[in-house]
Structure formats: C-alpha cells, structure tokens
Amino acid sequence: MSPLAGHVEFKKLHDSLDVSSAESIERYAVHLEGMTFKEVLELGIEPEDYNPKNYGDKHYKGGMGNLLEERYFGYPANSDDEPDFPKAGVELKATPIDIKKNGDPSAGERLVLTMIPYDKPIAGDFFDSHLWKKCKLILLVFYNRDRNIGAYDQQITHVKMFTPPEEDLRIIADDYKTIVSYIQSGRADELSESLTTYLGAATKGATADKSWVPQYYPFIDENGNVVHRQAKKRSFSFKRQYMDYVLHHYVLEESTEVEKILAPGALAHETFEQHITNLINSFVGMSDRELAAHFNMPYTGNKAQWNQLVFRILGIKGNQAEEFVKAGITVKTVRIEENGNIKENVSLPPFKFKELAQETWETSRLREYFEETRFFFVAFKKCGGNYQLAGCVFWNMPMSDIEGDLKRCWAETQSTIRDGVEILPETWGTGIRYMNNLPGESQNSISHVRPHASQAAYRFLDGTEIGDPDKNANELPDGRWMTTQSFWLNRGYIQSILCDFL
C-alpha cells in the first residue's frame, strides 16, 4: 500500500484541493503515482449520496476514469459536454500503458475525448466546439496495464497535465474540420480514423443495432433525394500513435532522434497535407538518379532508396518523420511503367494463421489496420529508361471498400484456414513449388493473399521440412506449418487510386 494512502496527512491534502485551480488539481493528482486502483478505493473518499459501483467490470465504460473522479477527487462522474472540473477547465482521463515484448512502454489505446453528436447541429470551428473544452487541458493519468491481474490491481505510474502544443493544434483543427465536413453533408457513415492525422473519429467496432443511429444532417443523393442515413456511433479521439508520442515525449520526457518536417509557422497558410504535397511536387519530373545526386546519395536503384529520397525531399535525413510517426502514416513508394501499369502489388503486415482463424471481422487486425492507417503514396513513373518522380497523394481506404471486397477477402481467407489450406506440389522448372488455395489476385478487386517471407518454408505432419519453417513459416490450425503469408493490395486497385492525380 502507498505510504500516503493510510496517512493522516492525506486528509489535509484532499481538504486543501481547489477544484477551480488546474495547478491545485495537478498537485493533488501526482500523489496517485505508485498507487493501485484498489489503494485509491481504500482511501474511503466518495461523493455525497454515493452508490457503490463495480468500476472493474469490462462492460463499465470509462470505469477507471470514473473511479478516480468519484473515489479520489470525490465528485460524481458525468458524461456532459463540460470538462470534469468545469471551473478549472480540466478534463480527467485515465489511459493504459502496455509494455512491449522488448520492455518498452507504449500507449495502450487511443484517447477517447467525447462522443460525436449525430442528433443535433455541430460547431463548424474547432475552437468553438465542446471538443475543444474537453481537450484544452487534460489531466492524463497513466497506468500499467497487466492483463494477468485484475483491474483494481493495476498500478498508476504517471500523472501529467497536458495541452496539445500549438503546432499540433493546427493539424487537430484541420482534422476536426474534415470530420465535420462529412457530418454536415450527411456522410458520417463514411468516417474512419484513417481519414485524418492526429484527431480521429473512432469506433470500438460494435455490431449491435443500437450502435447505428440516424444522422441529424441530411444527405442529398445524385437524384436530389433527401435522406437521413444511419451511421455508426463514433467519438472524437486522439489516435493511439499520437498518444504514444505524448507518452514518450511529454510524460516520460524522452529525447527523440526523430526529425520534424514542419518548421515553426509552416502551417500558417496551408494545411499539413498541402505542405507535404507541395514539398514533393517541387521535385516532380526529376529522375531517381537526379534526386540521389541532388541529395549527395550513392545511387542504388532499389525501392528502399525511393523511400529515402522521399524523406530527403521532406527534409528528413533518416527514414522516420515525427509528424508521420505521431499520425501513423505509412509511406509507400510505387513504380509505374511506361504503359501506365503498376509493376508490383503492395504488401501489408504478415498475419498468424491461428490468430486469424479465431478473429471476428469487427475486431480483426486487417480491419483495424485500414480503419486506422493513413497512407502516403509517392509514385515514380518510367520515362526514357529512368524512373521520374510523378506525384503523391494521401489516401485512406473508404469504408465502402473496407466493408466490401476487403471484408470478403478476409472472410474467404479465414474460411480456407479453418477448413484446412490445400497445399499442392507443382513442378516448377527443374524443381517443385507448393501452391495453395488462399484467395488469389484474380479473385478480388482489392486484396489477395500471398507469401510475405522471402523464402518458402513448410513443415508437414509426417515431419518433412522444406526450407526453414521456424524462421519463414507459422503454424496452421491443423498442425502443419506453411510459409508466412500477408494480405496484399492489388496493383490494379493501387493504380485506380493513383490515376486521379497522375
């Protein structure tokens, strides 16, 4: 138990708390560091007319945050539009830290700020919105999330008062404007987290009918018909990647070697996306050889160098940009041939067969990836034997595609894995290769499955091994091992994305 928890001095600290002062609130809150939620309960603090609650119930929305509000600060939890401490303008948020396999801490999830209203008008300007009231000054309470122990035994590690810096607020305000434009045009059903940069429109992926509600704003279709389409409930949230940056940079105060693209005042007259696009477009027409020479780099001609060239154009010496890390933006360079066709498909992260077999679509890694990930495509087009920089585009997969052919590819993949993948030997030149019946490129307009590992590897039930299965394969539900696979975006689908700006 925390030494402070049973100490008479604690009563004095609580009595001296001034809920109209952000400084007083933070001074009192820092004593949470080192305490478990169980120890907080043992302090015996509670609001007037308190009704006992099971804050640790997994169905209790915002349980640990509400526990702190009621059992540490002593006021009843509520879900209105005002901050938790209205006189001080402070919002309280409890949020988990996960420890990765290498021991590094990581923000466990996005930070839900407030629900997006679909039943009433919404402010068009971020700084006039109730969202701004909720995120202007946030008391962040981080706790280590250990899934092997109960909710009440989780330990609080860090407490920090946080306001997004001005450079982030410009981007957040533009994100808000983008989200609101969808809502006010009656298209909230098309929202996804990947649509924006730091501020997302997040959903937990609920499938119940009650998670779908009519929109306040009408949608006018191409025939002039006015309809109120249904949309899934969503909340304004800081993305998990942004919260990870906040954790490491502002809370743990770690020094970072990740470079910034944006100079002070860079977004005074343009948005983040406009700024990045303008930087790339200023080099359009130069070949990869000319770009390598311009940036004093030895020319290799491989695709990895193209990514390096993109970051050099953006003013980054390494292969990571702070703004892209904070936003979870993935850079993909694409090679276009002289006939206008794309030469290669685009790979996605590999999956584990047994994990995919147990997923549901709503909580699947593939759906989550495209719901959250924003892409920055940069195209090089072959001209006269050289690949010239052709242009760039920020892109996120539309919800209609996510819930359409992408879902179908995932479902067919899961069904094949559950039923037992057919692995058939086939003569190939002077040797043998193994074919399978996972969804191929010709079977889906968006995605297909193919090997992710560079070397084929199998381990069959009779003990026969091909290649190095421990390195390049993973286990199927029936005990066989097969070359590690991943979903890939079809080259034709990528071409359709790029055709609008090339």
Which CATH number applies to 272-396+492-498: 1.10.10.10, 3.40.50.720, 2.60.120.580, 3.40.600.10? 3.40.600.10
What is the token pair recorded at 263?
A: 């100079």
Asked if 155 contacts 36 with a C-beta cutoff of 8 angstroms, the reply is yes
Q: DSSP class of residue 486?
A: E
- The pLDDT score that the predictor gives to residue 5 is 46
- The pLDDT score that the predictor gives to residue 207 is 52
d(CA 142, CA 154): 10
Residue 112 has pLDDT above 90, yes or no: yes
d(CA 502, CA 500): 6
d(CA 45, CA 6): 12
The lowest-confidence range among 20-24, 133-137, 301-305, 308-312 is 301-305
Residue 399 has pLDDT above 80, yes or no: yes
Q: 8-251: CATH homologous superfamily?
A: DNA mismatch repair MutH/Restriction endonuclease, type II (3.40.600.10)
Q: How confident is the model at residue 6 (pLDDT cuts 50, 70, 90)?
A: low
Tell the burial category of 388 from Cβ atoms under 10 Å away from its Cβ (0-12, 13-18, 19+): buried
Instruction: Write out pLDDT tens, residues 26-79.
Output: 999 999 999 999 999 988 888 888 888 888 877 667 788 989 999 999 888 876
Asked if 395 contacts 297 with a C-beta cutoff of 8 angstroms, the reply is no
Closest listed residue to residue 36, CA positions, set 154, 121, 185: 154
Q: Report pTM.
A: 0.88
Residue 501 has pLDDT above 70, yes or no: no
- The pLDDT score that the predictor gives to residue 502 is 66
d(CA 415, CA 437): 11
What is the token pair recorded at 394?
A: 């920020």
Asked if 374 contacts 273 with a C-beta cutoff of 8 angstroms, the reply is no
3-state SS, residue 387: strand
Mean pLDDT of 389-412: 95
Q: CA separation (Å) from 436 to 289, 328, 480?
A: 40, 33, 13
CATH 3.40.600.10, the chain: domain bounds: 8-251, 272-396+492-498
Our CA dihedral for 127, 114, 67, 139, rounded to 10 degrees, sits at -30
Count of other CB atoms within 10 angstroms of residue 242 = 25
3-state SS, residue 97: strand
